[in-house]
Amino acid sequence: MTFRFLHAADLHLDSPLRGLETYPDAPVEQIRNATRRALDNLVTLAQEQEVAFVLLAGDIFDQSWRDFHTALFFAQCMGRLREAGIPVYGVSGNHDAANPIGKTLRPPDNVHFFSATKPGSVTLEHCNTVIHGQSYSSRETSEDLAAEYPPAVAGALNIGLLHTSLTGRPGHEPYAPTHPDILGNKGYDYWALGHVHEREVVTRDPWIVFPGTIQGRHIRETGPKGCSLVEVEDGRIRDVVHQDIDVLRWFRGNVECGPCTCDDDVRHAVRAELQAARDAGEGRPVAVRLECTGATQMHAQLHDRQRHFQEEWRTLAAEMGDLWIEQIRLHTRPPEDQSQEVDPESPLGELMQCIAAQELPESCTNELEDLMKQLPKEITEGEEGFNLKDPQQWQRMQDDVRELLLGRLLRQGGPQ
């Protein structure tokens, strides 16, 4: 007997895409509702592949979601699968458990979410498969849920459905931690995991798979996103193939400015990175972060004329089509033979020393922290978040201020 099923996770339906600035000619309409369109693609793929069932390994919704229209859209998509005779089996993840509206969701009767009370099992007679799973009862689930999953049912294909950090992954909270050995000892054929947004095949015997998120939402989620199409033959997993279903991609472009000596050189280097981003999109819109690096004669001009270069590069991206410059970061430095020592006794030297030694007064810090509590979490959390207590971030801010001032006060010929 041969059949297929789809394994997806971390839909984060209607979660906002972070870090995108609005400016003229930016493709706003093309990226709006990206997570919904990715879910649409998932449903279409399931129909086209005539899968036996679909697995959703948690975080269907986002914890910040408060609009019941999101639930209606999810129900409509599940209804399309119902019309195609495709059942759906899912577990709730940490974001689902933290969302009060998600707990009231009543999906169509082809959708089964496993209980958060204890592990459960569902037997699919038509394909001789048993699916085991357990949902989160609260966001901060620290116990090893997998340890209590039942042993494999003899003579059937056994699948474990679990939202977990496994042994820990960078950038992900350590929820429902467990070890591949614990999963392997259950005797299951396939572990359908969620929570980690990067695709990863942990082991192949048994198959332990993170399909990743179906749609990247910020610059830390670059590259293709989608789900896993699993092929089963005679009761064994024959193959697991990643399927791209995302509608927008994120790309980090490194603009090496070392060889650049004029505006045209920089423009050529930027165009090359934008073309690489466009190629990586494979026909999709791409949000691009440009990071300028290297020791270059253009160092002072890049910092002094940031607005000029920003507008020029955005125009270039618009001309190439379907490219959105998410952010531009300058990490260049002057060439060694042109770097100038600033006299510490000079007014400029004293200014540079003040910047290097600058610390926020406690009263100012407290006031800023009160203001930060009023900001959305997407601004204050994560790698790109603004955190006053992060010494590395504070150092980067000091470096940016220093380079901005030097770019305006110094020219290639020296201090003015």
Residue 328: pLDDT band with limits 50, 70, 90: very high
Give the H/E segment covering residue 54: strand 53-57
Please give the structure tokens belonging to residue 400: 């940016």
User: Which residue among 274, 309, 339 closes a domain?
Assistant: 339
Cβ contacts of residue 218 below 8 Å, gap of 6+?
Answer: 17, 18, 19, 250, 382, 384
- Structural domain including 37 reads 2-244
Contact assessment for residue 147 and residue 175, using Cβ atoms and an 8 Å cutoff: no
Number of domains present in the structure of the chain: 3
Is the domain of 81 the same as that of 177?
Answer: yes
Is the domain of 327 the same as that of 361?
Answer: no
> Any idea which of 85-94, 131-140, 274-283 has the lowest mean pLDDT?
131-140
Is the domain of 159 the same as that of 172?
Answer: yes
Q: What is the mean pLDDT of residues 318-326?
A: 89
Is the domain of 75 the same as that of 204?
Answer: yes
139-165 pLDDT, tens digit each: 777 788 999 999 999 999 999 999 998
pLDDT given at position 416: 41
193-236 pLDDT, tens digit each: 999 999 999 999 999 999 999 999 889 899 999 999 999 999 99
Is the domain of 166 the same as that of 192?
Answer: yes
First to last CA, the chain: 81
Give the H/E segment covering residue 301: helix 299-304
Q: Strands of 110-195 (E only): list them.
A: 111-113, 120-124, 129-133, 157-163, 190-194
pLDDT for 240 beyond 70: yes
> Any idea which of 115-124, 127-136, 265-274, 337-346 has the lowest mean pLDDT?
337-346
Buried b / exposed e over 164-179, threshold 16 CB at 10 Å, is: bbbeebeeeeebbbbe
Is the domain of 288 the same as that of 381?
Answer: no
Q: Residue 86 carries which DSSP code?
A: -
pLDDT for 415 beyond 50: no
Is the domain of 400 the same as that of 269?
Answer: no
Closest by CA position to 285, among listed 260, 317, 254: 317
65-83 pLDDT, tens digit each: 567 788 889 999 999 999 9
33-55 pLDDT, tens digit each: 899 999 999 999 999 999 999 99
Distance, in Å, from the CA atom of 217 to the CA atom of 381, rounded to the nearest integer, reads: 14
Please give the structure tokens belonging to residue 254: 């490194």
pLDDT for 332 beyond 80: yes
pLDDT for 339 beyond 60: no
Q: What is the mean pLDDT of residues 247-273?
A: 97
Q: Which residue has the higher pLDDT, 287 or 17?
A: 287
The percent of residues in the chain predicted with pLDDT above 70, rounded, is 72
Enter the pTM of the model: 0.82
pLDDT for 354 beyond 70: no
Is the domain of 306 the same as that of 415?
Answer: no
3-state DSSP call for residue 252?
strand
pLDDT given at position 15: 81
Contact assessment for residue 63 and residue 376, using Cβ atoms and an 8 Å cutoff: no
